[in-house]
């Protein structure tokens, strides 16, 4: 379970980044991706979204094993994540996505030097992982993502188109592969299959469910595989963050 939530992602800090996709994408797969974006609330609304808060949690047999709270200012690139380590030590990491700036506190104490650098690298990895579990459908057309049609199937009586995602020199583990199932009737993502860079087939499968609307955009709140659930919930769309949110614990 631990490795299965450490995913590669191309997630750009700027909401106005180019969205062309790669030249190798199938036209039909690109059309499906555009239909997904429209059903989510539309490209314009997504591109102008200032920021988000949400919680990322992993539960097994109804017991929450890990939990962290995120705040991400998409305009400035600042990101805050807070939670507890496996040993119960509270942490707060504040950093600029993709950069070297930031601060960190462990058990309320500020961290400096090489230890700070390591924690800021950890903060970046948490951002990459935890955003992709919630925002992958918004990122289908990002540069470096190749989309291929992969047939169709039926899930719970609903016809679904399947598109395969691969990555070209982007993300932390560009060898990851995903197959995304899109409901043909409502253009909503129903599930994904994944084979991570360090894994071998068969793929792992998680649902995309519990969709909620916030600020005119739609977000999933749960991803299930057997007795395990990855939650992306307590979602808030944010127009403006207080300055202290990215300055102090």
Q: Is residue 26 a part of any domain in this protein?
A: yes
pTM of the model: 0.90
DSSP symbol at 4: G
pLDDT at 181: 98
Cβ-based burial of 185 (10 A; exposed 0-12, middle 13-18, buried ≥19): exposed
Pair of tokens at residue 84:
């507890």
Which among 26, 12, 19 is positioned nearest to 166, based on CA atoms?
26
Give the span between the Cα atoms of 173 and 166, in whole angstroms.
11
Question: Taking every pair of C-alpha atoms in the chain, what is the biggest distance, in angstroms?
Answer: 56
The pLDDT > 70 percentage for the chain reads: 89
Average pLDDT in the chain? 91
Q: Is residue 215 a part of any domain in this protein?
A: yes
- Each residue's pLDDT tens digit, 147-183: 999 999 999 999 999 999 999 876 667 789 999 999 9
Give the span between the Cα atoms of 23 and 80, in whole angstroms.
35
**Does the structure show a pLDDT above 80 at 14?**
no
SS3 29: helix
Name beta bridge partners: 191.
181, 207
Q: Is residue 120 a part of any domain in this protein?
A: yes
Beta-carbon count within 10 A of 91 CB: 20
Which segment of 10-14, 37-41, 50-54, 228-232 scores lowest on mean pLDDT? 10-14
Q: Is residue 2 a part of any domain in this protein?
A: no
**Does the structure show a pLDDT above 70 at 47?**
yes
pLDDT at 237: 98
- Each residue's pLDDT tens digit, 179-214: 999 999 999 999 999 998 878 889 999 999 999 999
SS3 content of the chain, % helix, strand, coil (to 5): 20, 40, 35
Q: Is residue 163 a part of any domain in this protein?
A: yes
Q: In what order do the strands lie in the sheet with 109-110?
A: 109-110, 102-106, 90-96, 78-84, 63-73, 51-60, 228-238, 222-225
Average pLDDT in the 218-240 region? 98
pLDDT at 11: 41
SS3 95: strand
pLDDT at 196: 87
Q: Is residue 90 a part of any domain in this protein?
A: yes
Give how many domains the chain has, as a whole number: 1
**Cβ(225)–Cβ(205) under 8 Å?**
yes
Give the span between the Cα atoms of 130 and 56, in whole angstroms.
6
**Cβ(127)–Cβ(11) under 8 Å?**
yes
Q: Is residue 159 a part of any domain in this protein?
A: yes
Average pLDDT in the 227-238 region? 98
pLDDT at 171: 63
Average pLDDT in the 100-118 region? 97
First to last CA, the chain: 29
Q: Is residue 28 a part of any domain in this protein?
A: yes
- Domain of residue 188, CATH code: 2.50.20
pLDDT at 6: 38
Tell me the residue range of the domain where 126 lies.
Answer: 18-246
- Each residue's pLDDT tens digit, 125-144: 999 999 999 999 999 999 99
pLDDT at 3: 36
pLDDT at 170: 66
């Amino acid at each position: 379970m631990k490795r299965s939530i450490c995913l590669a992602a191309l997630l750009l800090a700027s909401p106005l980044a180019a969205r062309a996709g790669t030249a190798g994408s199938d036209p039909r797969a690109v059309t499906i991706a555009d239909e997904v974006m429209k059903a989510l609330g539309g490209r314009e609304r997504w591109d102008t979204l200032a920021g988000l808060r949400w919680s990322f949690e992993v539960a097994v047999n109804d017991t929450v094993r890990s939990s962290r709270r995120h705040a991400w200012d998409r305009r400035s690139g600042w990101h805050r994540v807070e939670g507890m380590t496996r040993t119960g030590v509270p942490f707060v990491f504040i950093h600029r996505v993709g950069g070297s700036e930031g601060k960190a506190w462990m058990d309320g104490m500020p961290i400096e030097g090489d230890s700070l650098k390591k924690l800021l690298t950890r903060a970046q990895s948490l951002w990459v992982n935890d955003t992709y579990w919630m925002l992958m459908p918004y990122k289908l057309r990002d540069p470096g993502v190749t989309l291929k049609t992969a047939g169709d199937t039926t899930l719970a009586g609903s016809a679904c188109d399947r598109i395969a995602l691969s990555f070209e020199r982007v993300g932390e583990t560009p060898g990851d592969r995903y197959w995304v199932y899109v409901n043909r009737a409502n253009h909503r993502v129903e599930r994904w299959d994944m084979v991570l860079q360090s894994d071998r087939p068969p793929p792992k499968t998680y649902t995309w469910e519990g969709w909620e609307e916030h600020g005119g955009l739609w977000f999933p709140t749960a991803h299930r595989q057997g007795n395990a659930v990855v939650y992306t919930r307590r979602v808030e769309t944010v127009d403006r963050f207080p300055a202290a949110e990215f300055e102090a614990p």
